[in-house]
Chains A and B, each alone.
Chain A
Amino acid sequence: MTPELGQLALILALLLALAQGVLPLIGAWRGNRALMAVARPAAAGQAVFVAIAFGILVWAFLRFDFSVQYVADNSNLELPWYYRIAAVWGAHEGSLLLWIMILNVWTVALAAFSQKLPEVFASRVLAVMGLVAVGFLAFIIFTSNPFGRLLPMPGDGADLNPVLQDPGMTFHPPMLYMGYVGFSVAFAFSIAALLGGELEQAWVRWARPWTNVAWAFLTCGIVAGSWWAYAELGWGGWWFWDPVENASFMPWLVGLALIHAQAITEKRGSLRAWTILLSIFAFSLSLLGTFLVRSGVLTSVHAFASDPRRGVFILAFLTIIVGGSLLLYALRAPKVAAGKPFNLLSRETAMLIGNLMFAVAAAMVLLGTLFPLIGDALHMGRISVGPPYFGFLFPLLMLPVVLLLPFGPFLRWGKGDAGMLKSMLLRVTIAALACAIVAAFFVDGHMKAIVGVAAAVWIGVGVLLYAYKRWREVPRGRRYPAEMAGMLLAHFGVAVFVVGVLLSESLSVTSDVRMAPGQTQHIGSYDFRFDGAHRTTGPNWRADQGVVTVTRDGKDIAVMHPQKRTYPRGQVQTESAVDAGITRDLYVALGEPMDAGNIAGAWSLRLYYKPFVRWIWAGGLLMMLGGFVCAADKRFRLKRTVTRAEPAIETRLQETRA
């Protein structure tokens, strides 16, 4: 009976979402305050019913209700409780439920904090969120019901995909979805602004922390996903340009552009149309990400659900939401160039170049990801472009960004100071060159590693110089407001990330070896000794576990236990062993026994020495932290009602409108 209540809750949530999506829009159009007032209670009600549905599904997993098809497909009696909770979003239906649940979290937060916005505007924003919820709830109810029954009820369920049975999996999807869905706030703001025909700077200021927080969550999700692929998939890499990774990377890139564009619009009033367009794109790419993963249009490791009916539904939904928004943009986007003018040498120009590069990079990733599909359409066959394409173009596009990054903060709005720029250029060049020369002695002439050190120093010194300049010139207490501190942290994160990527890419040593017990393999400056393999068991798996002892100059460094696990349904999963360190990771994956019958004998092993690989994620986490810190700035809080305030900046965007 309970699962049916879950379904009922979803249907009620859909009805409330319809009320939230339609009535306030009519109210805002007609000036009817009663209809506008529907938005908040409807949003709250919808959130309650979605939470009930979500709770019921969690409950069904916890008490092994295998009469629910989704539970039977994704868990079994041996699965530990924490993975049973993670199993809620382990497959298609449940991950959509998580999506809508998170959308409701954002909507409720928006409803709670938007009290001081003009009523017409706030009700339009909430209505747009409601319409997005309508689409997703209808999608769940009509094509992907997580509460469908399975009769007769099986005695035991199947299993959660073993690849997903990892601590990383428990929070990678929720973080990613927090980011994806968070962009819906900036999107709703833009649509509401287009509908109302005006975009006030004060509203952009209010939207900024939401975008920053969403982007920070997305960063966190991507970092967690990358870490998960590294530790769990046994591939030893940290980024694969897999279609599903790309699906999360595109909104990240556009979101990055959006953060900077919003800063320009808020502070200078310029680039309004571009900011609106970017916020539409960021959310559209989030929807597209969901579409690409869920429709089966592209098949990849992750695409565990493919059903043409679902594909058609998402495509229709995407066309209405994205096509509709872009049409609205075409009809009503601000036609007049507003805001303060700026010179060629100015912070605006630097940020615009960055913006352009991020947008082009996102388009490049989109093209590469869709290439197999385009190939089909042109009868060239399914061709994947893969890492060579991305790996060549992406660094090329990011080169100007890396070069400009240290100068952006030094440039003033409107008109930069060339003299200051020259002294600054001199200093970072000297620092970068000096460090590159020193580094050259340590990396045996690996060009990529030297470039990595130089680029990181270039950015890092630039960021530190700016922090020092603020320290010297600005009075105490006003030196590093949250917005400034966040920016410095995130930019410093880029430096850490760049050095991590280039050093680990160029200096890593990989070795596929056959090792008998007692044999030693020398990699980097480490000796890996294979001490044989034995059987072991876990809560729901059996495993062959190898023992590898690592020594350096005779001193013990680590004892590592790579595993090859077999889950109850016969799926085999490698569990690599990682010995983490600040300057290097040691990584061992267990291959196959040389003689299938004798696991105590020789095995094939894959050994890695990965210097500075951890810096990649550390850099990502710094960027994430920057996003969160920035959003905490007091300046972004709404202090008063902005209805008729600031007539000087309020611009009628739609001059031609009647």
Chain B
Amino acid sequence: MSRLLPFIGFMLLAALFGFGIWWNTQHDPNAIPTPLLDKPAPAFNLPKLYEPTQTVSKADLLGKPYLLNVFASWCIECGVEHPVLQAEGPTLGVQLVGYNYKDAPADAKRWLAEHGSPYAVVIADEPGQTAIDFGVYGAPESFLIDARGVIRYKHIGPLTPEVVAKELKPAIAALRKETP
């Protein structure tokens, strides 16, 4: 019997691993809970990409919900996400605000000229300071911010058609219900 112990021990371990794999399929490891969810978005005041002398602040954007999309010309995943934003952007029913992250303005403009801009307005955060307040891990990331300036939904990584349909659109629909 004692000779079976190593075998039994290993089988228990294997069961634990099986559980681990199952758990990971149920839970998105990228879903890092943001402490900012359902909290007011941090205050910001950033220059517009195309008119650097003008700035956009959090207060300027209050009143209507908007999707803040963090992107950069150096980010490959953003290139994956871009066509999705181009196609789905107009159907979302909220304003798209581009947040150009740690990027040289010239590069960002060239990139947008090449791929087209789905954004109503693009703000530039070249030093990346404000992004720290938002807890940005990297580009791309998207924040859905409601009319009162509260972060209601956050997605890390590129928005895919699936994420847009299953997560983003329901989140926007929920916003509409509250503020008809």
Interface residues of A (CB under 8 A from B): 158, 273, 277, 280-281, 284, 291, 295-299, 306, 308, 311-312, 315, 318-319, 322-323, 326-327, 329-331, 333, 370, 373-374, 376-377, 568-570, 596-597
Contact = CB atoms under 8 A, between A and B. Distances in A.
Given A323-B11, A569-B76, A570-B72, A297 B3 contact: no
A254 to B, nearest CB: 12
Contacts of A296: 24, 29
Contact of B10 (A299, A308, A322, A373): A322
A329 B24 contact: no
A284 B6 CA distance: 12
B16 A315 contact: no
A158 B18 CA distance: 33
22 contacts: A277-B6, A284-B10, A291-B17, A295-B20, A295-B21, A297-B20, A297-B24, A306-B24, A311-B20, A311-B24, A315-B17, A315-B18, A323-B11, A326-B6, A329-B3, A329-B6, A373-B20, A374-B16, A376-B20, A376-B23, A570-B74, A596-B129
Given A319-B14, A569-B75, 11 more contacts: A295-B21, A296-B24, A308-B21, A308-B25, A311-B21, A323-B7, A326-B6, A326-B10, A374-B16, A570-B72, A570-B74
Most chain B beta-carbon neighbours within 10 Å: one of A281, A329, A570, A597 = A570
B16 A377 contact: yes
A373 B23 CA distance: 9
B19 A377 contact: yes
Nearest to B72: A570
Contacts of B7: 323, 326-327, 329-330
Per CB-CB distance, the 10 closest pairs between chain A and chain B, nearest first, are: A297-B20, A326-B7, A311-B21, A570-B74, A596-B127, A330-B3, A330-B4, A308-B25, A326-B6, A373-B20
A281 B7 CA distance: 11
Contacts of B20: 295, 297-298, 311, 373, 376
A323 B14 contact: yes
Nearest to B4: A330
A335 to B, nearest CB: 8
Interface in B1-15: 3-4, 6-7, 10-11, 13-14
A634 B168 CA distance: 70
A370 B16 contact: yes
Nearest to A299: B29
B17 A297 contact: yes
Contacts of B76: 158, 569
B155 interface: no
Contacts of B74: 568-570
Interface in B88-116: 102
A297 B21 contact: yes
A319 B74 CA distance: 43
Contact of B102 (A319, A370, A570): A570
Contact of A315 (B6, B21, B127): B21
Contacts of B75: 569-570
B24 A308 contact: yes
A284 B19 CA distance: 19
B104 to A, nearest CB: 11
A295 B21 CA distance: 8
Contacts of B25: 308
Contacts of A312: 21
A330 B6 contact: yes
Contacts of A327: 7
Contacts of B129: 596
Looking at chain B's contact residues, the main secondary structure is helix
Contacts of B17: 291, 295, 297, 311, 315, 318, 373
Nearest to B6: A326
A158 B13 CA distance: 37
Nearest to B19: A377
Contacts of A291: 17
A570 B127 CA distance: 13
B71 to A, nearest CB: 12
Contacts of A377: 16, 19
A25 to B, nearest CB: 21
A333 B3 contact: yes
Nearest to A333: B3
Contacts of A597: 127
Contact of B14 (A318, A329, A331, A568): A318
A568 B24 CA distance: 32
Contacts of A311: 17, 20-21, 24
Nearest to A280: B6
B106 to A, nearest CB: 16
B100 to A, nearest CB: 13
A203 B157 CA distance: 55
Contacts of A298: 20
Nearest to B9: A326
Nearest to B18: A315
Contact of B16 (A299, A319, A330, A373): A373
A168 B19 CA distance: 35
Nearest to A363: B9
A525 to B, nearest CB: 38
A175 to B, nearest CB: 27
A331 B3 CA distance: 8
A569 B76 CA distance: 8
A521 B75 CA distance: 39
Contacts of B21: 295, 297, 308, 311-312, 315
A323 B6 CA distance: 9
A363 to B, nearest CB: 9
A381 to B, nearest CB: 12
B143 to A, nearest CB: 20
B172 to A, nearest CB: 30
A323 B24 contact: no
A299 B29 CA distance: 8
Contacts of A297: 17, 20-21, 24
A284 B7 CA distance: 12
A333 B3 CA distance: 8
Given A297-B17, A329-B3, A323 B10 contact: yes
Nearest to A596: B127
Contacts of B23: 376
A20 to B, nearest CB: 26
Contacts of A596: 127-129
Interface string B104-146: 0000000000000000000000011100000000000000000
Contacts of A158: 76
A311 B74 CA distance: 32
A449 to B, nearest CB: 39
B81 to A, nearest CB: 15
A569 to B, nearest CB: 6
A369 to B, nearest CB: 11
Contacts of B6: 277, 280-281, 326, 329-330
Contacts of A326: 6-7, 10
Given A296-B24, A296-B29, A308-B21, A315 B14 contact: yes
A327 B25 CA distance: 30
